[in-house]
Amino acid sequence: ETGVTQSPTHLIKTRGQQVTLRCSSQSGHNTVSWYQQALGQGPQFIFQYYREEENGRGNFPPRFSGLQFPNYSSELNVNALELDDSALYLCASSWGGRATYGYTFGSGTRLTVV
């Protein structure tokens, strides 16, 4: 059973650029959630995808968008990058949309915006 894999592990971008982060969900899981963890903070919910549709969204602007593919992998896209977008981005997969079903997290992508 493979776990959640995220790519790339590290990324440096310039303010104003666009970035795409990728996530492969754990085998058997059909739901992907994305979280942003800023330095010294806990993970903060961005959005969730269930069966290729956005199932819920946290308090993030529209320039944060996502996709889920038929194989349940997912992408997080961020447009017009700002310095405050520098953070660890975590992907979590689960079976079903409820957080209580148990998430498996990936190791994250560390994004630095300069």
Distance of CA 65 to the CA centre of its chain: 10
The count of other CB atoms within 10 Å of the CB of residue 101 is 11
| 1/14 with CB nearer other proteins | 1
Does the bond joining 8 to the residue before it have cis omega, within 30 degrees of 0?
Answer: yes
| 15/98 with CB nearer other proteins | 98
| Smallest distance from other proteins to CB 70, Å | 20
Does 105 engage in binding with other proteins (CB under 8 A)? yes
Positive/negative CA dihedral, 52, 50, 17, 89: negative
- Name the residues that contact other proteins, by CB under 8 A: 4, 33, 35, 40-45, 48, 50, 55-56, 58, 90, 92, 97-100, 102-108
